[in-house]
């Protein structure tokens, strides 16, 4: 069984959740844990700043309050620290830097690609320890290079100096959004999720309830994720998810229709027109496609060309389909 751990390495609950997950999996050799990226602080600066300084920023303070609305940020830090100590994390605990985690996530993804779950887990552990216990800046290339070397991932530093893993991590972040991951950490098995750093007993119960999930074909999963992103008003994310499918299945009706919807929603009207013109020619009785084609022409100021398509779509019930 594959379990995905969606988490941000600058989230203290990710480290606490890792320890609890490890205890939950004692004696269970049938579970493979794969770490996936999540961002709790997407606005973190490219160069890390001291955390105490960053906490003076009202926006940062507001984000911290959202994690524990009943506590002040200082009270929440004390609470998390005491829980971390109880989980055996220490002896010293506490991040010292507001650091961007993007490159750390790249290293984690690359570790899995090159060495599987075992190497990835080692890299994750070292990154979390560096951030929360050793008070290092995990956005610094030298720190990440040292972590890669210590984990036996000698090529990691060189890969980070290139764009390796860049598009993969960005796609994974979109995938998490599409699948409804909203909390760091979140454990996901198939289409079931357990949010938060839950107790080992809760994790074991969750695993027992999952059974053996079926795995969707990759292209079906991508279509679902693209649909989800479009519903969440992220058409550019949907197009990112569709890119591979457009290359592999350039003439597929469903792919072209979804791409056209995403182009239309992101105001890429020329791209939408190209897709829709082909679809209208091939499927002249498809009322929804004709309606979208008419609206695409209309938004480009071509009302005369749009009118017959909109009229045919209305007669065939395209307006009703669009409202569903």
SS3 257: helix
pLDDT of residue 214: 74
Helices (H), the chain: 12-24, 51-54, 58-67, 73-86, 102-132, 141-150, 156-160, 166-178, 200-210, 218-231, 235-248, 253-265, 269-282, 287-299, 303-315, 318-322
Please give the Cα distance from 115 to 8 (Å, whole number).
Answer: 21
Query: pLDDT tens across 7-19, in order?
Result: 999 999 999 999 9
Q: What's the pLDDT at 144?
A: 98
> What's the chain's average pLDDT?
92
Report if pTM > 0.85.
yes
How far apart, in whole angstroms, are the C-alpha atoms of residue 226 and residue 207?
A: 28
Give the separation between CA 13 and CA 7, rounded to whole angstroms. 9
The predicted-structure confidence for 140-182, as pLDDT tens digits, reads as follows 999 999 999 999 999 999 999 999 999 999 999 999 999 999 9
DSSP secondary structure string, 133-167? TS---TTSHHHHHHHHHHTT-TTHHHHHTTTTTHH
| CATH T-level fold of 218-322 | 1.25.40
pLDDT for the residue numbered 71: 67
Q: In this structure, what token pair is assigned to residue 204?
A: 């074991």
Take residue 45 and report the two structure tokens written for it.
Answer: 């600066």
Domain spanning 2-210: CATH 3.40.30.10:
yes
Measured at the alpha carbon of residue 18, what is the angle toward residues 108 and 37, in degrees to the nearest 5? 35
Instruction: Note the pLDDT of residue 116.
Output: 97
**Confidence band (pLDDT; 50, 70, 90) for 69?**
low
**Do the Cβ atoms of 180 and 151 come closer than 8 Å?**
no
Stretch(es) of the chain classified as CATH 3.40.30.10: 2-210
Task: State CA 125 to chain mean position distance.
Answer: 20
Average pLDDT over residues 279-284: 96
**What are the structure tokens assigned to 106, written together?**
């790249």
Among 122, 125, 109, 119, CA closest to 163: 109
Query: Could you tell me where in the chain the CATH 1.25.40.10 domains are found?
Result: 218-322
pLDDT at residue 63 is higher than 50: yes
Of 52-66, 93-107, 299-313, minimum mean pLDDT range: 52-66
Q: Cα 145 from chain centroid?
A: 24
Sheet holding 192-195, edge to edge: 32-37, 2-7, 186-189, 192-195
Residues 6+ apart with CB under 8 A from 161: 141
pLDDT at residue 324, rounded to an integer: 43
The secondary structure of residue 131, as a DSSP letter, is H
Please write the tens of the pLDDT for every residue from 287-298.
999 999 999 999
Peptide bond into 91 cis (omega under 30): yes
How sure is the predictor about 323, in pLDDT bands with cuts at 50, 70 and 90? Answer: very low
Cα separation, 73 vs 66, in Å, equals: 9
- The helix/strand count (H/E) of the chain reads as 16, 6
Note the pLDDT tens digit of each residue in 208-262: 998 777 778 999 999 999 999 999 999 999 999 999 999 999 999 999 999 999 9
């Amino acid at each position: 069984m594959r379990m995905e751990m969606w988490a941000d390495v600058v989230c203290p609950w990710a480290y606490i959740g890792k320890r609890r997950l490890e205890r939950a999996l004692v004696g269970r050799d049938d579970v493979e844990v794969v770490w996936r990226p999540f961002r709790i602080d997407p606005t973190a600066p490219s160069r890390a700043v001291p955390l105490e300084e960053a906490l003076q920023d009202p926006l940062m303070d507001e984000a911290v309050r959202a994690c524990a609305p009943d506590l002040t940020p200082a009270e929440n830090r004390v609470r998390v620290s005491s829980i971390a100590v109880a989980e055996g994390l220490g002896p010293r605990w506490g991040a010292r830097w507001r650091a961007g985690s993007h490159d750390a996530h790249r290293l984690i993804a690359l570790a899995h690609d090159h060495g599987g779950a075992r190497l990835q887990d080692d890299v994750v552990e070292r990154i979390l320890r560096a951030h929360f216990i050793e008070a290092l800046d995990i956005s610094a290339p030298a720190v990440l290079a040292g972590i890669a070397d210590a984990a036996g991932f000698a090529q990691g530093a060189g890969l980070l100096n290139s764009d390796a893993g860049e598009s993969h991590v960005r796609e994974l972040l979109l995938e998490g959004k599409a699948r409804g991951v909203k909390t760091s950490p979140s454990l996901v098995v198939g289409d079931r999720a357990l949010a938060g750093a839950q107790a080992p007993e809760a994790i074991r119960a969750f695993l027992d309830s999952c059974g053996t999930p079926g795995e969707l074909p990759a292209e079906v999963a991508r279509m679902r994720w693209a649909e989800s992103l479009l519903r969440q008003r992220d058409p550019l994310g949907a197009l990112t998810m569709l890119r591979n499918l457009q290359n592999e299945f350039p003439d597929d009706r469903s792919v072209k229709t979804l791409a056209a919807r995403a182009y239309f929603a992101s105001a890429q009207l020329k791209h939408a027109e190209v897709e829709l013109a082909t679809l209208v020619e091939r499927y002249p009785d498809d009322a929804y496609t004709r309606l979208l084609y008419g609206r695409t022409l209309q938004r480009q100021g071509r009302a005369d060309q749009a009118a017959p398509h909109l009229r045919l779509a209305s007669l065939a019930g395209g307006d009703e389909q669009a409202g569903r």
